[in-house]
Copies of this chain bind each other. A is one copy, B any other.
């Protein structure tokens, strides 16, 4: 990284920026959609980074000690693609396939591309992801690469940005550098602060960052500022780059009506390309990309998890069993890391945190940053477990959505589910978590009822690649299974059955124990019912459900401590939908309130009493 550039180097960088603009114009015009104006404002920043500042292997974007670049303003994707093409990763002519079904050069970047760590395009997510990557480099793998996150100015209103700003400062991430492309114009209006660079500086310095205001079209100044950032210790740096949207194209530059619009084919595009071509310097030399220091990362194999420390009849909350399993996992698999958001003494991640402090990241009360950082850590090959109350994952649902699109290898554990948490009331009850997680493509949804199944499913979650959600309860519940029992993902357990069963009850969590109570009461009145522990909701054991339904007069009754739409019951319904089976569903159908856990389970119609009544009604 050079603080001063020769005239030839400078010309090379300026030319690279111009080429990036030209490619961005060409590709968006070819696609007939896209954001060339947002590419042009950031072209000098990207040229400075890719062709002077960053150390990376352009043929191997996944090399562990590459400097990382995250395009948080994902709508400038054509600029990112042009930079990697210019760096030599793929042919420039591919750029013209932008936004077509057969190309991975999508409208916004996704990890289908090897140089994208996390899908962007929903604004405000890049910096939290960058925090995760920088945490990995500084505390887990101790690599010396740097992480750069390019954001938009409008984007910096998103609250998630300030969560990441706060956590990055707290963690002293001097290996992280944010760049705000302050191009003054949002989608529908000028931004709040327009070009008030002092106001931007006050915000970032107020949050403890080193902030540098720089002319975002002065490549030499940019290179100098990046150099100063790299020399700044114990705190992250932000470059507040004053730029103009559409820079370099006279009819687009700083004009408000060019957001998200390609230049039409024909004379207008030619005029833009001609204008840009005239900006090329005669004496530019080809830019040289600095390579990273070699730093192979050991990937030690995971050992076997010790047997779960529980026996049948013990009384353990599934959230606690999760914490115990996570701690055990930490001991056998150095890739496992954990994150929490100031509830580690309730989710029991504190057990892991105390034992493996360099692999545990406290996010304070910043759930969005927690999710973004988890995705960043996953992009570095880690297996992150992120835990909070299930209800508070709703705060980070957009991050979960983008992580699903990215097929991120993250494991989410939501505790304190349902009305069975009791007195704290509805704000703390996770009652939509199955709906929100199961809706996302490729997400596995697990719902263990006892400590043994929790322990084994946490083990499986770490072993299986992909996004996994595990639902954990607050109250203690009896251990149902022996330590040798196995719980394959996609399976279920038939915990009560008899040839004379007239109905199959499908439940999990607290409602499984209510179903077992109902089973006893019904048995006493001469009615025999089957009971299934549906510990895996996605994928679901359709075969066993159909077999059980067939053996019990084609009748299923689902019971869940979750709202009625999109939960366990709907997962069962969907699995058997084509078979004409009658399914009855008990779920929480009203706005809950405070009360004792048992009272609430009964009051909201998911307790043993309601199960018995429903059974009697169904078999009548």
B441 A563 Cβ-Cβ under 8 A: yes
- Tell me the complex Cα distance, A565–B345, Å: 33
B427 A594 Cβ-Cβ under 8 A: no
Q: Interface code A409-441, partner B: CB below 8 Å = 1, 0 otherwise?
A: 000000000000011111110011001101111
A99 B594 Cβ-Cβ under 8 A: yes
A199 B208 Cβ-Cβ under 8 A: yes
Q: Interface code A599-611, partner B: CB below 8 Å = 1, 0 otherwise?
A: 1100100000000
Contact of A580 among B401, B580, B590 (CB under 8 A): B580
- Tell me the complex Cα distance, A185–B464, Å: 38
Contacts of A402 in B (CB 8 A): 427
A106 B207 Cβ-Cβ under 8 A: no
Min Cβ gap A477→B in Å is 19
B121 A424 Cβ-Cβ under 8 A: yes
A101 at the interface (CB under 8 A from B): yes
B199 A426 Cβ-Cβ under 8 A: no
B365 A124 Cβ-Cβ under 8 A: yes
Interface size on A, residues (CB 8 A): 119
Q: Interface code A149-173, partner B: CB below 8 Å = 1, 0 otherwise?
A: 0000011011111110010001000
A366 at the interface (CB under 8 A from B): yes
- Tell me the complex Cα distance, A125–B395, Å: 11
A332 at the interface (CB under 8 A from B): no
- Tell me the complex Cα distance, A438–B571, Å: 15
B441 A589 Cβ-Cβ under 8 A: yes
A154 B365 Cβ-Cβ under 8 A: yes
Best-buried of A108, A158, A596 by chain B (most CB within 10 Å): A158
Contacts of A204 in B (CB 8 A): 206
Q: Which residues of A contact B (CB under 8 A)?
A: 31-34, 74, 99-101, 103-104, 106-108, 110, 112, 119-124, 154-155, 157-163, 166, 170, 186-189, 191-192, 199, 202-208, 340, 342-346, 350, 362, 364-366, 368-369, 391-392, 394-395, 397-398, 400-402, 404-405, 407, 422-428, 431-432, 435-436, 438-442, 538, 554, 563-567, 569-571, 573-574, 577-585, 588-591, 593-596, 599-600, 603
Q: List 17 A-B contacts (CB under 8 A).
A: A106-B425, A124-B159, A155-B365, A157-B166, A159-B160, A159-B161, A159-B368, A170-B192, A186-B364, A394-B397, A401-B432, A431-B439, A564-B574, A566-B570, A570-B570, A573-B574, A579-B582
